[in-house]
């Protein structure tokens, strides 16, 4: 799969994948901004702006006009906001590429930011924030983020808080849009049944008015943690929600492939160690998994389970035991091979979809990474050895880096604290 890269006159980067065997086209636009770029006073503004771009444009004044324009041709569209990236995309049948592109560029380049719509969406987002506090598993991860990152912006919810969202004005949004939605922060990735030169001409025309500005800085993070931390949130629930995390590596770290394999071995799928030990052997939990995230300058790795409250301390102990076992004992070669095939298979299967292909290449370019093909990435997974897995496990599974978040009917943290060790 050979991509083509173009740089427009105003410095927008364009990635095109010609896929003549498909009959769809996905256009995905990445803006290098997100929650960690925001001043404290307007925390949540990236997410708020993402919502508002769906609420009306000069050409399509209402949210319904935008929805009908895409759904009326059988297409799909959506967006997402993260800590470092905001993404807008549309997927349509190839013959409707022009319409899909017109809607997407209209949203990005000519949003109305109608004051009445802003107030309606403000109420919607406040309800979204409140829903987190009513959803125990979401609350467990919300508390974990605060525990690990605050007072750094990474510790704030991407949606902001009720206080900050209620304080964001239309003028704040327009200022933030001008500051961050500029050409050098923007990547357009198109994949499907298209001709690259035709796409280049159309993208150049649609985005010609987007101004150029230098890439935006953000406040960098460096952990100073030197002792285990915990937060046990008392809430009357039928299940306890247990999330424990440690620090890992940033996005471009050479051991990132080993961490992904560590995640697959521990908690990805029904053959993973956590699933087999905690669910199948002990019958402690229905839901158990591991997770991780890598940002530009930092990363973390963890495990999560939803269990009967009486079993929560034992479940935490079992999770940490499996962490410690990976650090103490080499992973058998057959188990590492299984994890590699699981990850590689997932990547390869996802490449049958134009949306995934546009994302694969667009994200790498937006993060200013070297763009690697699927074959190059799978080859790097194949290089990881059992020694690498054990070395990485010993590096990141440290008692003084533990962060524990529990939500459930507990009045004391003592039963959990005494298990924070390998």
Q: Which residues are catalytic?
A: 50
Interatomic CA distance for residues 140 and 68, integer angstroms? 38
E runs forming strands in 348-402: none
Angle (CA) 400-402-406 rounded to 5° is: 145
Interatomic CA distance for residues 407 and 133, integer angstroms? 11
Interatomic CA distance for residues 319 and 266, integer angstroms? 9
Interatomic CA distance for residues 156 and 154, integer angstroms? 6
Interatomic CA distance for residues 291 and 156, integer angstroms? 19
Question: Which string of b and e fits 107-134 if b means at least 16 CB within 10 Å?
Answer: bbbebbbbeebbeebbeebbebbeeeee
Q: How far is CA 9 from CA 23, 205, 207, in A?
A: 30, 11, 10
Q: Judge whether 181 and 32 are in contact, CB under 8 Å.
A: no
Crossing angle of helices 136-149 and 115-134, in 10° steps, is 100
Interatomic CA distance for residues 214 and 195, integer angstroms? 30
- Cα dihedral 40, 42, 44, 47 sign: negative
Q: Judge whether 48 and 125 are in contact, CB under 8 Å.
A: yes
Q: Judge whether 92 and 100 are in contact, CB under 8 Å.
A: yes
Angle (CA) 195-198-203 rounded to 5° is: 120
Q: Which residues contact 356 (CB under 8 A, 6 or more apart)?
A: 350
């Amino acid at each position: 799969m050979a991509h083509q890269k173009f740089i427009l006159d105003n410095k927008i980067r364009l990635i095109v994948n010609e896929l003549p065997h498909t009959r769809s086209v996905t256009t995905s636009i990445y803006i290098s901004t997100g929650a960690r770029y925001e001043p404290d006073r307007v925390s949540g503004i990236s997410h708020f702006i993402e919502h508002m771009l769906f609420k009306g444009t000069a050409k399509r004044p209402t949210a319904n006009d935008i929805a009908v324009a895409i759904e009326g041709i059988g297409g799909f569209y959506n967006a997402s906001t993260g800590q470092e990236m905001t993404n807008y995309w549309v997927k349509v049948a190839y013959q409707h590429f022009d319409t899909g592109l017109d809607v997407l560029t209209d949203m990005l380049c000519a949003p109305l930011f109608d004051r009445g719509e802003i107030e309606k969406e403000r109420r919607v987002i406040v309800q979204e924030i409140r829903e987190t506090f009513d959803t125990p598993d979401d609350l467990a991860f919300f508390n974990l983020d605060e525990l690990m990152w605050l007072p750094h912006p990474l510790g704030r919810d991407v949606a902001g808080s009720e206080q900050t969202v209620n304080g964001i004005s239309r003028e704040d949004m327009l200022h933030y849009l001008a500051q961050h939605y500029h050409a050098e922060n923007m990547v357009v990735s198109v994949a499907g049944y298209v001709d690259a030169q035709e796409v280049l001409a159309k993208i150049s025309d649609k985005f010609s008015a987007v101004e150029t500005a230098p890439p935006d800085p953000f406040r960098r993070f460096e952990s100073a943690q030197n002792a285990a931390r915990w937060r046990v949130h008392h809430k009357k629930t039928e299940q306890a929600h247990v999330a424990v995390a440690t620090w890992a590596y940033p996005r471009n770290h050479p051991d990132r492939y080993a961490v992904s394999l560590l995640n697959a071995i521990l908690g990805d799928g029904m053959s993973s160690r956590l699933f087999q030990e905690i669910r199948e052997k002990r019958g402690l939990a229905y839901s158990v998994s591991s997770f991780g995230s890598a940002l530009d300058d930092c990363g973390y790795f963890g495990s999560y389970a939803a269990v009967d409250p009486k079993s929560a301390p034992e479940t935490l102990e079992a999770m940490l035991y499996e962490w410690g076992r990976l650090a103490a004992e080499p992973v058998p070669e057959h188990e590492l091979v299984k994890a590699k095939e699981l990850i590689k298979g997932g990547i390869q299967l996802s490449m049958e979809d134009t949306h995934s292909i546009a994302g694969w290449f667009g994200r790498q370019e937006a993060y200013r990474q070297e763009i690697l093909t699927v074959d190059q990435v799978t080859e790097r997974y194949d290089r990881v050895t059992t020694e690498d897995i054990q070395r990485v496990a010993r590096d990141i599974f440290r008692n003084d880096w533990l962060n524990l978040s529990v939500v459930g009917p507990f009045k004391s943290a003592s039963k959990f604290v005494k298990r924070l060790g390998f």
